[in-house]
């Protein structure tokens, strides 16, 4: 399958809004290459090392890369994206100097390119995420191996929101629990739930690429029969009851999710919610309290917040 990469050379002020525009118009993930990130000295959480090619970063501004299928709808979607970006000027976002570069990307080449940078990574006290092609690793005492091929779903398990989600699951998942993973991506949280003892997981994502990735990755972990991945719009139409619902998605989407979650969470069940930027955490907590969820715990990492809430 062929994909078109939309490379947008813009400024830092437009990053969040343009990323949102790309996602809303069907981009399968967005890559952000900001040269300012190269200047930050980050404490290593578990000793991980990444090989970054600094020559691919712009000298000024940032690169945002979105990916759309190379089909008959692409030209029209590109027009919509450019129009919506131009409309950002009304919010005093400087968009006059934005430059676009379109190039073709082969799906096989895209997935394979991860292998140069993606190494076994310890993301919590319990979990070591291991690429499915990697054989050079050692499990510590009590560690769990989570095998993963990020493929096209951009889920390597190393993003702060994913790490926070896994740590939240470690605190609430009990043996025999039934779990729902909303926005399953590459299946990291579904797999982690099963490895922590969940009886089964219903994994939902609107993106067919993500559903396929989850199905592939559950096979790598030999838990095919415990995860059912399907296309679905959040929890719409879902009637399955759950002990735990985990969602690593944007705060605005979590807010829309809470009402449906309330109808299917079991008594005293838990929500593990991540993908929440710190400035929007109060909005999410307000919605949870409105629907009688009790906030059990909050944890932050690099401006991202994870919230554990319990049904009352």
Confidence of residue 72 (pLDDT cuts 50, 70, 90): very high
In CATH, what class is 2-112?
A: alpha beta
| pTM metric for this prediction | 0.68
Calculate mean pLDDT across residues 133-150: 86
Residue 115 predicted with pLDDT over 70: no
For residue 178, what pLDDT is reported? 98
For residue 8, what pLDDT is reported? 95
Calculate mean pLDDT across residues 18-36: 85
245-261 pLDDT, tens digit each: 999 998 999 999 999 99
Calculate mean pLDDT across residues 10-32: 87
DSSP state letters, the chain: -EEEEEEEEE-GGGHHHHHHHHHHTT-S-EEEE-GGGGG--PPPSSS------GGGS-SSSEEEEEEEESSTTHHHHHHHHHHHHHGGGGGT---TT-EEEEEEEEHHHHHHHGGGT---EE-SSSEEEEETT-----PPTT-EEEEE--TTTT--S-SHHHHHHHHHHHHH--TT-EEEEES-TTSHHHHHHHHTT-SEEEEEES-HHHHHHHHHHHHHTT-GGGEEEEE-STTTT----EEEEEEES-HHHHHHHHHHHHHHEEEEEEEEEEEEEGGGHHHHHHHHHHTTEEEEEEEEETTEEEEEEEE-
Residue 174 predicted with pLDDT over 70: yes
Residue 172 predicted with pLDDT over 50: yes
Residue 193 predicted with pLDDT over 70: yes
Confidence of residue 75 (pLDDT cuts 50, 70, 90): very high
**Which of 163 and 136 is assigned the larger pLDDT?**
163
For residue 49, what pLDDT is reported? 40
For residue 38, what pLDDT is reported? 63
Residue 108 predicted with pLDDT over 80: no
Average pLDDT over all residues of the chain: 87
Residue 45 predicted with pLDDT over 50: no
For residue 93, what pLDDT is reported? 81
For residue 29, what pLDDT is reported? 74
Per-domain residue ranges for the chain? Answer: 2-112, 155-311
Residue 303 predicted with pLDDT over 90: no
Of 54-58, 68-72, 224-228, least confident by mean pLDDT is: 54-58
218-240 pLDDT, tens digit each: 999 999 999 999 999 999 999 99
For residue 121, what pLDDT is reported? 85
Residue 197 predicted with pLDDT over 90: yes
Fold match, 2-112 / 155-311: no
| Percentage of the chain lying above the pLDDT 70 cut | 87
For residue 128, what pLDDT is reported? 92
Q: Which CATH number fits domain 155-311: 3.40.50.150, 3.30.300.30, 3.40.50.261, 3.50.50.60?
A: 3.40.50.150
């Amino acid at each position: 399958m062929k994909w078109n990469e939309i490379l947008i050379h813009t400024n830092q002020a437009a990053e969040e809004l343009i990323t949102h525009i790309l996602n809303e118009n069907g981009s399968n993930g967005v890559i952000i290459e900001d040269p300012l990130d190269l200047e930050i000295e980050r404490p290593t959480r578990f000793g991980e090392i990444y090989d970054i090619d600094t020559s691919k970063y712009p000298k000024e501004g940032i690169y945002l890369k979105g990916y759309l299928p190379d089909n008959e709808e692409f030209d029209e979607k590109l027009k919509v994206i450019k129009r919506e970006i131009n409309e950002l000027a009304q919010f005093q976002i400087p968009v006059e100097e934005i430059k676009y570069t379109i190039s073709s990307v082969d799906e096989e080449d895209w997935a394979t390119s991860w292998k140069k940078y993606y190494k076994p990574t310890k993301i919590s006290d319990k979990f070591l995420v291991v690429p499915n092609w990697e054989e050079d690793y050692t499990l510590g005492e009590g560690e769990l191996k989570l095998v993963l091929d990020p493929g096209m779903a951009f889920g390597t398990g190393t993003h702060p929101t994913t790490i926070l989600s896994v740590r939240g699951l470690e605190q609430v998942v009990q043996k025999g629990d039934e779990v729902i993973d909303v926005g399953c991506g590459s299946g990291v949280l579904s797999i982690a739930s099963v490895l922590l003892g969940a009886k089964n997981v219903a994994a939902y994502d609107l993106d067919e690429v993500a559903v396929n990735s989850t199905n592939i990755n559950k096979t790598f972990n030999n838990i095919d029969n415990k995860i059912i991945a399907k296309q679905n719009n959040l929890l719409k139409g879902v009637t399955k009851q759950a002990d735990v619902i985990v969602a690593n998605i944007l705060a605005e989407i979590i807010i829309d999710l809470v009402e449906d979650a309330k109808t299917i969470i079991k008594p005293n069940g838990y929500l593990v919610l991540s993908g929440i930027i710190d400035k929007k955490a109060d909005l999410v907590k307000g919605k949870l309290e409105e629907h009688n969820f009790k906030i059990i715990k909050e944890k932050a990492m690099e401006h991202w917040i994870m919230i554990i809430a319990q049904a009352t």
